[in-house]
Amino acid sequence: MKAAPFDYVRADSLSHALETLNQFGGDAKLIAGGQSLVPMMAMRLARPTCLIDINRLNSLKDIQLQAHEVKLGASVRQRDLEFHPQLNSHLPLIAKGIQWVGHEQTRNRGTVGGSLVHADPSAELALAALVLDVRLQLESQTDGVRTLQAADFFLGPMFTAVGETEALTDITWPVWQGGRIGTAFEETAIRKGDFAMASAACQIQTSADGAITKISFGLGGIDGTPLVYPELAASLMGQNMTPELAQHIAHAAAQQSQPGSDMHASAEYRKHLAQALLTRALLSAYQESLNAQAA
Ligand SMILES: Cc1cc2nc3c(=O)[nH]c(=O)nc-3n(C[C@H](O)[C@H](O)[C@H](O)COP(=O)(O)OP(=O)(O)OC[C@H]3O[C@@H](n4cnc5c(N)ncnc54)[C@H](O)[C@@H]3O)c2cc1C
């Protein structure tokens, strides 16, 4: 099938893009990498009357690294994250997660913002954004700028808080301070590059005696959005991770999810997978934090 007819506008500034979005009042869509939108249009699951191309807006491609946070423009390509020389030390969880996002070819075009706004429940960047509790900045011509935390951004499968005439402009990722940090990103997919059947991400900080001083973790692909577990995480503070504890926490987390069944896996199998992946992620991130230096 081919896409339904549409107009095309190449935005030459953010205000031009926002003005055009406003003119079409919800019938237009921004196009970034096109790696999700174009297939959706080809299947006629999306039928925008106008595509507003934001690929020439350099203001949306900035990467600003500071000691305590990294600000990524919405149109930063996934490939540019993967090969950024300092990103691994600032945001090791993204560096691990990005390896699982599609293929080299899709990462060459796909953007961070496009992935977050598309909001596939299996998207690795969405899971990392929730685990690290990123701050997202949105802008529209009529309402100006507003910011949201990740927990308020993802509302359901392919459904976010982004309004029809709003653009995501940048995403601020907190950088944990103090060293002794470990991260892990685990995933199972039918083939390398496919969307995850289930995924788990975890970031842990420990004290010199191995007690957990900060932890955040989540699961992807097993509910309408990726899930994070602040209450379970709080219950781990001050504890040393053991295989039994990791299994117990992973079981509790997986039980809180409501995965669907499809041709690839039953709901029960997805829960089982999520539990196994999260157990592995908790143990591996914990071990990495023990091996890491204090800052
Ligand atoms: C073969 C294949 C395999 C893939 N595998 C994976 C995978 O394993 N994991 C994964 O996470 N993804 C995967 N993807 C999707 C890929 O990561 C896309 O890059 C991503 O989902 C969308 O990014 P994009 O820049 O291409 O956005 P686009 O396709 O251009 O846009 C997606 C949506 O976001 C909106 N949008 C884009 N930018 C903005 C903005 N700044 N403000 C507001 N709205 C905006 C668009 O209007 C559209 O609704 C795969 C894609 C393909 C084709």
The predicted structure's pLDDT at residue 193 = 87
Cα separation, 41 vs 122, whole angstroms: 20
Q: What one-letter code names the amino acid at 110?
A: G
Q: Whose CA is nearest to atom 21 of ligand 1?
A: 115
CATH architecture entry for 7-53: 2-Layer Sandwich (3.30)
Q: What six digits make up the tokens of 105?
A: 């070819």
Ligand 1 mutation target, pool 29, 37, 40, most atoms within 8 A of CB = 37
pTM here? 0.97
Where along the chain do its domains lie?
Answer: 7-53, 58-174, 181-291
Q: Which residues contact 211 (CB under 8 A, 6 or more apart)?
A: 238, 239, 240
The predicted structure's pLDDT at residue 25 = 87
Q: Whose CA is nearest to atom 6 of ligand 1?
A: 102
CATH architecture entry for 181-291: 2-Layer Sandwich (3.30)
Q: What six digits make up the tokens of 104?
A: 């080299």
What separation in angstroms does the CA of 195 have from each of 47, 121, 250?
A: 23, 9, 21
Of ligand 1's listed atoms, the one at least distance from the Cα of 162 is: 43
Rg (CA), the chain: 19
Q: Is the CB of 140 under 6 A from ligand 1?
A: no
The predicted structure's pLDDT at residue 264 = 85
Q: Whose CA is nearest to atom 9 of ligand 1?
A: 101
Q: Is the CB of 195 under 6 A from ligand 1?
A: yes
Protein fold of 58-174: 3.30.465
CA of 31 to the centre of ligand 1 (A): 9
CA of 196 to the centre of ligand 1 (A): 15
The predicted structure's pLDDT at residue 118 = 98
What is the residue whose two structure tokens read 């020389």? Answer: 85
Q: Is the CB of 29 under 6 A from ligand 1?
A: yes
The predicted structure's pLDDT at residue 210 = 96
Cα separation, 251 vs 260, whole angstroms: 18
Contact at 8 Å (CB) between 151 and 133?
yes
pLDDT, tens digit (0-9, with 9 covering 90-100), for 102-138: 999 999 999 999 999 999 999 999 999 999 999 999 9
What separation in angstroms does the CA of 165 have from each of 17, 30, 44, 208, 282?
A: 10, 10, 21, 49, 40
Cα separation, 218 vs 13, whole angstroms: 36
Q: Is the CB of 97 under 6 A from ligand 1?
A: no
Assign 80 a pLDDT band (cuts: 50, 70, 90): very high
Q: What one-letter code names the amino acid at 97?
A: G
pLDDT, tens digit (0-9, with 9 covering 90-100), for 162-217: 999 999 999 999 999 999 999 999 999 998 889 999 999 999 999 999 999 999 99
The predicted structure's pLDDT at residue 57 = 98
